[in-house]
Structure 1
Amino acid sequence: MLGAAGTVLAAPAFAQADWPNRAIRLVVPFAPGGSSDVLARLIQPGLGAALGQSVVVENRSGAGSMLGTEYVARSPSDGYTLLLADLPYAIVPALQARMPYDVEKDLVPVVMVGVAPLLIFGHPSLPARNAAEFAALARAQPGHYTYGSGGVGAASHMMGELFQAATGTQLTHVPYRGGGPAIQDLAAGNLNTVFVTVASAAPQLSSGQITGLGVMAAERMPSHPDIPTFREQGIDLIAEHWWGLLAPARTPEAIIQKIAAAMPGVLAATGMAQRLDALAVIPRSDGPEAFGQRIRQDLARYGEIARTRGITAQ
């Protein structure tokens, strides 16, 4: 009897030691072509090589990233299904009265992949050279100036709300079905501003169709040193978009640590720095504890901004 029990108890430990012995699914909760999908496919070969098994990227979009996230939350806790989450992971719960999963209980942080500073972009016709001048204009004419976003609750929407709270301004929010159309309308002169990453606006920025008014980072971006930080302009606001891997709750710690230990090498591989730089993404391989702290901080931050400004999903 004791021998049989010993065999049963040893089975999970053996499974962990043998992990991985088959392909790993990396779920992207967005449609192909977006920043999360691009990053997933950038790290896919290196992560597979480091873990000794193939990594298969699987797009499961829908419900503002909740469909794919719920799928991973309900998957077996065996390390074979991972989620590439990004900033909306911490925003969505602030907007939903009911969630199909618990972001703090049903999934666990594994390792970060990267971060990207968020910026405010303006149309060249805007009579402001930077974010501080734009804030002064907006304070003088409440509700007159617009900002576009990828939809209610999108990161670009919440950045606009953070900006208004930090500057005492009142802007008119114009939601779109995705960040791409918002940037296109900004370039066409149908909007005054948009809050997104450089990766989302690179073609329009390089062509001069839009201008960078400020970056929500502690330091200027090496790729765009001419764009001043918000703090340089007297606006106390720092915000980053982030990406990272999460796993279903109760995934064995040994598996989590193995994945986390592999990520620094994946991000340091030959040619990776140039590819990430092209997306204005800064590699960051913070482990479970630091990544979890970032998620908790953003859950609190965006929960507060949603409550104080009355933002809910529509």
Structure 2
Amino acid sequence: MRIARRALLAASLATPAVAQALRTIRLIVPFAPGGGSDTLARLLAPALGAALGGASVVVENRAGAGSQIGAEAVMRSAPDGTTLLLGDTPLVTIPALQAAAGRPVPFQAAVDFTPIAAIAAAPALILVAQNAPWRDTREMLAAARARPGTINVASGGVATSTHLMIELLQLRSGVQVTHVPYRGTGAAIQDLLSGQVQAMIQAMATAAPLVAAGQMRVIGVAADHRLAELPDAPTLREQGIDLVSAFWWGVLGPPGMAAPLVDTLSTALQAAMASESVSSRLPTLGLERLTLGPTPFRDMLAAETARWRDVVQTAGIKPE
């Protein structure tokens, strides 16, 4: 309640131009309806509108090019607060992947957008079938080291976030596995359950039903803490692998937004995420709340861009 009051106060103290800009907001989701980003956006929209004193927040899906189309639409919009982007991990991987393919780099997230707030994250989980012989990631990697070419790890496709995380795991552990790309997650899950591949990396939202059904086990969590939903699953750091990585979501605007507008939106976003209607749903979506304002979010974007650029260059990844 205290956070929500601060958001409303911030809105009430804003200049008339700021207040007018916040009456109607388009929240662009750069993916098709029905996915994780779309679900989060539609959960967030009414709470954000309420935190802004009754603004109308409309979710608009602008899918294509791995989220690049929607991101560029926001980047080129007017900096008046009426068009915002619900960005996620591909926002910081696209520059490196486009450069690797010899294409023009469309943007740098920390420079060509106005970061407003990082709002949610889902730590990466390493999953194996229930009957897999390894108790943790360390044992799986030991098997890969002893028998090169025998451990296949699935991703949702070449140059996807899960592919990049597999490459990062190899770099941090010094152990090579065989990357097997799929066109989406469904087929990868089926092949993991049938034993065609031995492991995959996913977020909690995908893993939770399979783990609850006794079909899969989590043998590693790429977080700096154990998850309350998976108290028996060790972190990778506990296993001697210095790897913390998560799928994340944040709200950004076009470049050049005025500071009062950014501050008002950032405060309202944190109030919306803290509201009962949103916070009570986050665990069921496999999400943890982030509370990064404009400057820390910009720093995170810069660090994530550099991290994934190094991974793409070192692993020699090229998009299809």
Q: Tell whether the structures are fold-level matches, with TM greater than 0.5.
A: yes
Partner of 2:98: 96
TM-score normalised according to structure 1 size? 0.92
User: Does the 8 Å contact 2:156/2:185 carry over to 1?
Assistant: yes
Per-residue deviation, 1:21:
5.4
1:142–1:169 contact (8 Å) kept in structure 2: no
2:150 pairs with 1:144 = yes
CA contact (8 A) 1:156 1:196 kept: yes
Q: Is the 8 A contact 1:16 1:252 kept in 2?
A: no
**Aligned alpha-carbon RMSD (Å):** 1.6
Map 1:84-233; keep pairs closer than 5 Å.
Answer: 84-97=86-99, 98-233=104-239
- Report the Cα offset of residue 160 of structure 1: 0.6
The Cα offsets for residues 172-220 of structure 1, whole Å up to 9 and x where unpaired, read as 1111222333233323332211111111222211111111001011110
Runs of 4+ in 1 over 4 A off after TM superposition: none
Deviation, structure 1 residue 286:
0.9
In structure 1, list runs of 5 or more residues that go unmatched.
1-12
Query: Deviation of residue 14 (structure 1)?
Result: 6.1
| Alpha-carbon distance in 2 for matches of 1:205, 1:191 | 17
Q: Percent identity?
A: 44
Indicate yes or no: 2:270 matched with 1:264: yes
In the alignment, the residues of structure 1 paired with residue 244 and residue 258 of structure 2 have an alpha-carbon distance, to the nearest angstrom, of 34
Deviation (angstroms), 1:131 = 0.4
Query: Contact 2:22 / 2:81 at 8 angstroms: preserved in 1?
Result: no
- SS of residue in 2 equivalent to 1:122: strand
What is the aligned partner in structure 1 of residue 49 from structure 2? 48
Three-state SS of the structure 1 residue aligned to 2:157 is coil
Q: Aligned pairs, how many? A: 302
* Equivalent position of 2:289 in the other structure: 283
CA-to-partner distance for each residue in 1:253-294, whole Å, 9 max, x for gaps?
111110101122211212432310111211112100011111
Q: Measure how far apart 1:66 and its partner are.
A: 0.6
- 5+ residue gaps in structure 2? 1-13
Does 2:231 correspond to 1:248?
no
Contact 2:92–2:301 (CA<8 Å) still a contact in 1?
yes
CA contact (8 A) 1:16 1:254 kept: no
Q: Give the letter for the 2:221 counterpart.
A: V
* One-letter amino acid of the counterpart of residue 24, structure 1: I
SS at match of 2:286: coil
What is aligned with 2:7? none
Secondary structure (helix, strand or coil) at the match of 1:311 reads: coil
Q: Could you tell me which residue of structure 1 aligns to residue 10 of structure 2?
A: none
Query: Residue by residue, what CA displacement relative to the aligned partner does 1:81-116 show, whole Å, maximum 9, x if unpaired?
Result: 000001111112111122333434321210011111
2:242 corresponds in structure 1 to: 236
